[in-house]
Amino acid sequence: MDTQRWLTSYQQRTEELGATVELARRTLADVEGTAVSSGGGVTVTASATGALRRLVFGAAADDLTRSQLAELVLRTAAQAHRQAARAAIEVMKPVLGEDSAGLRFLRARLSEPADNLATGRAWTSGVR
């Protein structure tokens, strides 16, 4: 292959990759999950990365201690995050490929924060 054809091919692949990355960025930016605690005391909306986008306390939250409320927020946030992460993985399958290294990486990265919250490894000290 001559140098010019190689360069043209390389530029084309780079542009395609850039378009794929941009599509992935736009797609993931809008993905979120919402969870409601049993009893309705807490409603949380989170992004696929676990960032809280919305937190609402229902009337049932008034009957909880601060410690109980903090724990409920964390558990509900973990549920919302898992929901958003699952949705993000589904929308990224066509972009990254069903069994690609990129999708495996995404699965691993998106599961970590919710797993930490669900297993109590998240920070909760100091709340009484």
pLDDT over 90 (residue 76): yes
Number of domains in the chain: 1
Range of the domain at 64: 31-118
Q: Which strand ranges, in their side-by-side order, compose the sheet holding 32-36?
A: 32-36, 42-47, 52-57
- Confidence class for position 122, pLDDT limits 50, 70, 90: very low
104 assigned to some structural domain: yes
62 assigned to some structural domain: yes
pLDDT tens digits, one per residue of 79-96:
999 999 999 988 888 878
Amino acid identity, position 123: W
9 assigned to some structural domain: no
Global pTM value: 0.70
